[in-house]
Chain A
């Protein structure tokens, strides 16, 4: 079922080479993973209605096939307090290249983690987890394993991170929901393996971890060029 859904996404977005955030998040939600409440809108009125429905403060992100790296392109705004600010943000995003719509979603907080997958030529689908989320390249604290993973193996991966202490509750902070994180990692590994024929790599970055669960704050799926009959 996931595979069929991915096949359709692949056919739609193969030209662009990647799947935009709303569809990527919907895909992972359909596999049982937690994503923020979000709505998309392609006009200002729709965006404001979405802000109302989600409840301020909200985050807004541009959806454009020409903008893979949203933050660098100025296509992300967090902590939007009210309709005025959201309208301004919408107007700014509408000018970005290839603008399709805006994604409005609830604000998240927590400890940032990156979860990713890559289809390696020699080893097939491998999964990565790391501390730091969007700052992962600064910390360089990641571990890699071949998919699929059981929840227990996911735990062993987390144990090998230098920053594991941050997850276990550092300097009085409450520990993150470890079971949820292991579950997210294991489920993600099975999903990625199932659709490995269609993908090149996936970033869930960041995944926001709190004592109450783990939520995928951003998701990007890079597509393989050849699809199922790859290599």
Chain B
């Protein structure tokens, strides 16, 4: 197996192709941020030499005074084979080839040449034609100025994207939902390092608990190996596939060929192997958030708890639409809830499921309901619809209910309107590993993610 450590956990980085004249050059942008903000030693390289930020620009790799783990290559495509050769000669550990101008514009010859060289030398490289690698607080090879990026915090979700643009945009959504990344990598033309390699690496990576992919397409037979490998992986795998509508135009001569269109096959194979397929970028974030908290799968027997009958019904409808059950609670469970409810709620709450604690509910009532539901075998996940306008609910409720989860292990998912004044309530959940969505639909998607990870 290829050693990916120098690629994703480098201590020394050479940025090859910096300009001494233009600070807007991609290599300069990368050099600047690594130099100023990251805990690693970075060296600028350009055959012309000179000074950059009052540091030496090395004429060649061999002049750099210590071994280089990662080479970031941002020079013109024609120069890349020569640079890669130098990397191999100088025993560089890995490379990311930012440069475009390869297979994507028809220069498959150039791409094949560098791929062959790298394979022979066991030098893993990401790209070409990519943004490269982002590891929160550790590494960032994106040629986008730091102040323009939205950077998710460090977390346990790895996101592998064929498209750099989608990766950057997805990072905005991850940050917005408070989902942390262990690694973001844009693999571009994926000449050498491909989804399969990263699936294998991330399956063993200790900082990653959820592995997410944005895929435009697999190579011949590659999808089969990916599905098989993902089904053996103990971590949840999430996939967002682009190009769902490219089928249908070809003339097909058999019923099976016309019924088994490309995307139907894709979805069927994902489901067969317990890979959670997200339908769109919002689902991708919801799925990742839920699975980063609860990597285990559930059957999908949901209890809905709210202070509003309307929200309960909306959530039940959404559950049904996503193949989740909201079973009526047995007498025993209802009694188990009832016995701990406060006097003002006891007579008016509806406990059948959805559980409506009414606008009179206090924190204690939520705690009673969640504790009882967590004890019930008829339920394998609880959706909390928390409307903090209700006067009996305090900001402490998030942390309090999370602690019940931490005790019992029964998954909770919360819907709380994402408004700044409810921040403490939300963090009370999120910091204790209970995912929070800003919509009812989003909360339901999170539960669906846990169910989708069951092979079927």
Measured CB to CB, the residues of A under 8 A from B are 17-18, 68, 114, 116-118, 120-124, 126, 128, 130, 136-137, 140, 142-146, 156, 160, 200-203, 205, 220, 222, 231
- Would you call B422 an interface residue if the criterion is a C-beta within 8 Å of the partner chain's C-beta atoms? no
Is A160's CB under 8 angstroms from B456's CB?
yes
- Choose among B217, B262, B272 the residue with the greatest number of A CB atoms under 10 Å from its CB: B272
Q: Which chain B residues have a beta carbon within 8 Å of chain A's beta carbons?
A: 217-224, 227, 252-260, 262, 264-266, 268-269, 272-273, 456
Point out the residues of chain A lying under 8 angstroms from B268, CB to CB: 126, 143-145
- Residue of B224, B255, B269 touching A203 (CB-CB under 8 A): B255
Whether the Cβ atoms of A116 and B218 lie closer than 8 Å is no
Nearest CB of A to B277, in Å: 13
B456–A128 CB distance below 8 A: no
- Are the C-beta atoms of A136 and B255 separated by less than 8 Å? yes
Residue among A144, A156, A231 with most chain B CB within 10 A: A144
* Contact indicator B269/A137 (Cβ below 8 Å): no
Contacts of B221 in A (CB 8 A): 122-124, 231
Residue from A120, A142, A145 within 8 A of B272 (CB atoms): A145
How close is B81's CB to chain A, nearest CB, in angstroms? 27
Q: Is the CB of B254 within 8 A of A144?
A: no
List 13 additional A-B contacts (Cβ < 8 Å) besides A118-B265, A200-B257. Answer: A68-B253, A122-B218, A122-B262, A123-B269, A124-B221, A128-B260, A136-B255, A144-B265, A200-B254, A201-B253, A201-B254, A202-B254, A205-B256
Query: Which A residues are CB-close (under 8 A) to B220?
Result: 121-122, 231
Q: Is the CB of A203 within 8 A of B254?
A: yes
Task: Collect the chain B residues with CB atoms within 8 Å of residue A136's CB.
Answer: 255, 259
Give chain B residues whose Cβ lies under 8 Å from the Cβ of A117: 256
Using known A-B contacts A122-B218, A122-B224, A231-B220, determine if residue A220 contacts B260 with beta carbons closer than 8 Å.
no
The answer to whether A201 touches B257, judged by C-beta atoms less than 8 angstroms apart, is yes
User: B-side binding surface: helix, strand, loop or mixed?
Assistant: helix
Q: Which residues of B contact A140 (CB under 8 A)?
A: 259
Question: Do residues A128 and B259 form an inter-chain contact, with CB atoms below 8 A?
Answer: yes
State A95–B264 Cα separation when bound (angstroms).
Answer: 40
Q: Which of A123, A128, A136, A220 has the most chain B CB atoms closer than 10 A to its own CB?
A: A123
- Docked-complex contact A146 and B264, CB < 8 angstroms: no
With beta carbons under 8 angstroms apart, the residue of B219, B252, B260, B456 that contacts A120 is B260
Cβ-defined contact, A142 with B269, below 8 A: no
Q: Please give me the 9 A-B residue pairs with the lowest Cβ-Cβ distance, nearest first.
A: A116-B256, A122-B223, A144-B268, A201-B257, A122-B218, A201-B254, A123-B223, A118-B260, A231-B220
Nearest residue, chain A, Cβ from B223: A122
- Chain B residue numbers with a CB within 8 Å of A144 are 260, 264-265, 268-269
CA distance A143 to B264 in the complex (A): 9
> Whose C-beta in chain A lies nearest to the C-beta of B220?
A231
Would A18 and B224 count as touching, CB distance under 8 A? no
**What residue of chain A has the Cβ atom nearest to residue B273's Cβ?**
A146
* Chain B residue at smallest Cβ distance from A118: B260
> What residues on B are CB-neighbors of A146 within 8 Å?
224, 227, 269, 272-273
A222 pairs with B266, CB closer than 8 A? no
Whether A205 lies near B224 (C-beta < 8 A) is no
Whether A114 contacts B255 in the complex (CB less than 8 A), given A123-B265, A146-B272, comes out as yes
Q: Bound state CA distance, A160 and B258, in angstroms?
A: 20
Which of B217, B253, B257 is A122 in contact with, Cβ under 8 Å? B217
Chain B residues contacting A145 (CB-CB under 8 Å) are 268-269, 272
Contact of B255 among A17, A137, A143 (CB under 8 A): A137
| Distance from B77 Cβ to chain A, minimum over Cβ atoms (Å) | 27
Q: List 24 A-B contacts (CB under 8 A).
A: A17-B253, A68-B253, A116-B256, A116-B259, A117-B256, A118-B265, A120-B265, A121-B262, A122-B217, A122-B220, A122-B221, A122-B265, A126-B269, A130-B259, A137-B258, A143-B268, A144-B269, A146-B224, A201-B256, A202-B254, A202-B256, A203-B255, A220-B254, A222-B257
Report Cα–Cα, A103/B223, bound state, in Å. Answer: 40
Q: A146-B224, A146-B227, A146-B272 are in contact. Are A203 and B256 (CB under 8 A)?
A: yes
Least CB distance, B315 to chain A, in whole angstroms: 25
How near does chain B come to A222, taking the closest CB pair, in angstroms?
5
Complex-state Cα separation, A209 to B445, whole angstroms: 39
The interface residues of chain B lying within 8 Å CB-to-CB of A122 are 217-224, 262, 265-266
Question: Which residues from chain B contact A142 at a C-beta distance below 8 Å?
Answer: 259-260
Residues of A within 8 A of B256 (CB): 114, 116-118, 128, 201-203, 205
Chain B residues near A130 (CB, 8 Å)? 259
Question: In the complex where A126-B269, A146-B272 touch, is A118 in contact with B257 (Cβ < 8 A)?
Answer: yes
Kindly list chain A residues whose C-beta atoms are within 8 Å of the C-beta of B456. 156, 160
CB-nearest residue of chain B to A115? B256
Docked complex Cα distance between A201 and B222 (Å) = 19
Whole-angstrom CA separation of A120 from B269 in the bound complex: 11
Check B255 against A205 for contact (C-beta < 8 Å): yes
The residue in chain A whose Cβ has the minimal distance to the Cβ of B228 is A146
- Residues in A neighbouring B260, C-beta threshold 8 A: 116, 118, 120, 126, 128, 142, 144, 201
Distance in Å: Cβ of A144 to nearest Cβ of chain B: 4
CB distance from A113 to the nearest CB of B (A): 12
List chain A residues, Cβ under 8 A from B273: 146
Q: Which residues of B contact A222 (CB under 8 A)?
A: 253-254, 257
Task: Give min CB distance, A67 to chain B, whole Å.
Answer: 12
Closest residue of chain A to B222 (Cβ to Cβ) is A122
Q: How far is the CA of A126 from the CA of B256 in the complex (A)?
A: 10
Residues of A close to B222: CB separation below 8 A: 122
Chain B's closest residue to A120 (CB) is B265
A116 adjacent to B264 (CB under 8 Å): no
Contact B255–A120 (Cβ < 8 Å): no
- Distance of A108 Cα from B266 Cα, bound (Å): 35
Residues of B within 8 A of A116 (CB): 254-256, 259-260
